[in-house]
């Protein structure tokens, strides 16, 4: 799989090993007591590790076996228990023993999915997030990359999740590594 190769070659500019301030602030403001968290597209587990140290029971998902192997190693070294799984984010309802979550996090997975993949992801997430739970999403804004459209517009995010989530906040900015326009979304399950 392409993602495994990318991790083997260490061509992962998104894997900064730094938990973003948006997540730090959200956890401090809304989740001081922890809860259950789902890290979708967790990569090597940086944010899952942070959440576990804040008292969360964490499940981390990624399609890359290599990324999950690295994440498991990091958790072992840190002495933290996290359920890391090789899994497809578009198949959330089909993952056994996953349960429900108070917080879901996605930093850079959703915006690379196809339109049908995004719809399946949104449907699955609705089934996994508790009422009043929070979904923190980081995504690139629309752009053309090679011959492929990548990223997602703010109105598309709101529309995809409208039947189950309310957008509490959307902050447009730029990705520091690539300079691309991006946005942070805080969505609340109704």
Q: pLDDT class for 38, splitting at 50, 70, 90?
A: very high
Q: What is the pLDDT of residues 131-190, one digit of tens each?
A: 999 999 999 998 876 777 778 999 999 999 999 999 999 999 987 666 789 999 999 999
Distance between CA atoms of 118 and 112, rounded to whole angstroms?
9
Domains defined for the chain, CATH in brackets: 2-13+21-93+101-189 (3.40.50.150)
Q: What is the pTM of this model?
A: 0.91
- The b-or-e profile of 67-106 (16+ CB within 10 A means b, else e) is bbebbbebbeeeebebbbeebbbbebeebeebeebbbbbb
What is the average per-residue pLDDT within 43-51?
A: 97
Residue with more model confidence, 14 or 39: 39
Q: What is the pLDDT of residues 92-113, one digit of tens each?
A: 989 988 999 999 999 989 998 9
Q: What is the pLDDT of residues 69-81, one digit of tens each?
A: 999 999 999 999 9
């Amino acid at each position: 799989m392409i993602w495994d190769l990318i991790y083997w070659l260490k061509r992962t500019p998104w894997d900064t090993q730094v938990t973003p301030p948006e997540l730090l602030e959200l956890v401090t403001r809304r989740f001081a007591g922890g809860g259950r968290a789902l890290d979708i597209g967790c990569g090597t587990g940086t944010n899952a590790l942070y959440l576990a140290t804040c008292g969360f029971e964490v499940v981390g998902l990624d399609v890359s076996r290599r990324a999950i192997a690295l994440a498991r190693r990091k958790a072992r070294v840190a002495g933290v228990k996290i359920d890391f799984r090789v899994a497809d984010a578009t198949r959330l309802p089909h993952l056994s023993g996953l349960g429900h979550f108070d917080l879901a996090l996605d930093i850079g997975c959703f915006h690379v999915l196809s339109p049908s993949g995004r719809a399946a992801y949104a449907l699955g997430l609705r089934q996994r997030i508790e009422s009043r739970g929070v979904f923190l999403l980081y995504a690139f804004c629309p752009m053309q990359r090679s011959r492929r459209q990548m990223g997602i517009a703010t109105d598309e995010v709101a529309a995809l999740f409208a039947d189950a989530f309310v957008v509490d906040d959307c902050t447009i900015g730029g990705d520091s590594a690539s300079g691309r326009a991006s946005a942070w979304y805080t969505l609340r399950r109704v």
